[in-house]
Structure 1
Amino acid sequence: MRRMYPLLAAVLLAVLLAGCGAKSNTTGASDVPNTLPSAGSPDIVPTVGEGGEATHTSGGAEAPSEQLSAKETQLKETAQEVVEYLRERDLNSLVPFIDPKLGLRFSPYSHVNKDTDLVFTPDTLPSFKDATKQVWGTNDGSGDPIELSFRDYYEKFVYNKDFADAPNISVNKLLGKGNTEFNVTDAYPNASYVEYYFPGSDKDLGGMDWQSLILVFDPEGDDWRLTGIMHGQWTI
């Protein structure tokens, strides 16, 4: 019987050692996740780092900014050419952009008035040397006629600020809004427009001193033809 004691002790020791080993393995396995997060996980959004490598950030991704269509991009590029010619007072370069059928309409405010707006075809556009005064519409507020030479009208209602360097440019989205009804698409159903906008800077006026230049175009095949030049400002 005494010979059995050492044998029993050895068996018990082996059982105890086996139990400790199993417990150690279970604890180590608990530190390893069952599954790794994937790019398809709702909380993981793949992004591109500075080095071009894919990284992951928590939370939702920002919505992409609105992109211009190919046609709108072409429109914006055409408008940029036109506004540069307006800046340079280069009427000879401006003439080829004018729609030969619809002509070029000058609106002193951001409202098409078919009764009072003056419209010129490419071959009747006045020059800066022409001192003849014409009535271009009526002044906002007073209602007095806008009777000016082409040069004076241009300086007051076309390029009274350096719009080619405007801080805000929009395509088919009106930025300058006041009390005047913007009715371009009613007057020209197929038209698109580009606005060059300067926000107001006088705090005493509460931002109402904003100014904008709106160039209106009609499509002609793969090109855009200039049909309107509008001046935007706060109106009563």
Structure 2
Amino acid sequence: MSVQFYVGLHQPADAQHFELCCISINRVRRRKKPVAGRVLVDSGAFTELNLYGGYRHGVEDYAAELFRLHTAGVVDIAAAVAQDYMCEPFMLAKTGLTILDHQRLTIERYDALNAELDRLFNGKCPFPVMPVLQGYAPTDYVRHVALYGDRLTHGMWVGVGSVCKSNGDPEAIVEVLSAIHRVRSDLLLHGFGVKQTALMHPGVRELLATADSMAWSFAARKQGRDGNSWHEAKAFAVRVQAAASRAVEAWQMPLPLWRIAA
């Protein structure tokens, strides 16, 4: 499978240089000037939970802003990511909650956002809301799929959260994606913050339909360059898309850990 890449951007104006991009709702909130290209609107989950331990803006506020961005022609929304709750240990420490709590809250926010957008658009929201599967171990993600139930329709575009923690170990990402694939092979999975290193792995490329990343910004700053330059983003996007589009060599999905242990 060729992975479609949405480059993460700090500055909405830089979207004119890309066909597909991912921009946080926090970067386009109250913006009036149109943003070029197709945009995956991120809920800003990492920033919100990491800095504030929760969302400063409720579902109604998020939905109202999405409604405004669409109806005013500011953003061509490819999808709006639901307000999910990451499940890394340091995130759980910030909220004081459990993985199961974060999974429950993620679904509650997904349901609430859909309901509010349906109300605002009179039952005909013109863009999809992307549900997010959350967890830490592969079994957590399988449980979250079950908790979503029939909300996850056939062939749905679904985000996989908290995988960027494993960019240095692509096999760990493959384990999570494989676990989801075994129970719902029809889903089109999106990887948040997946770096070039991970996309070089044939299993990651086979199991993901789409991905986004802002790794270019961190790399540029670390190497003494401009972490806000769209030129850096463009060079990174070209490299990642080349890796993501590379033909997947012979690859076999790993056995689940319980099979190996048996």
- Using the size of structure 1 for normalisation, the TM-score is 0.23
Where relative contact order (Cα < 8 A, 6+ residues apart) is larger, the structure is 2
Q: Of Structure 1 and Structure 2, which has the larger fraction of its residues in strand?
A: 1
Which protein has the larger Cα radius of gyration, Structure 1 or Structure 2?
Answer: 1
- Using the size of structure 2 for normalisation, the TM-score is 0.21
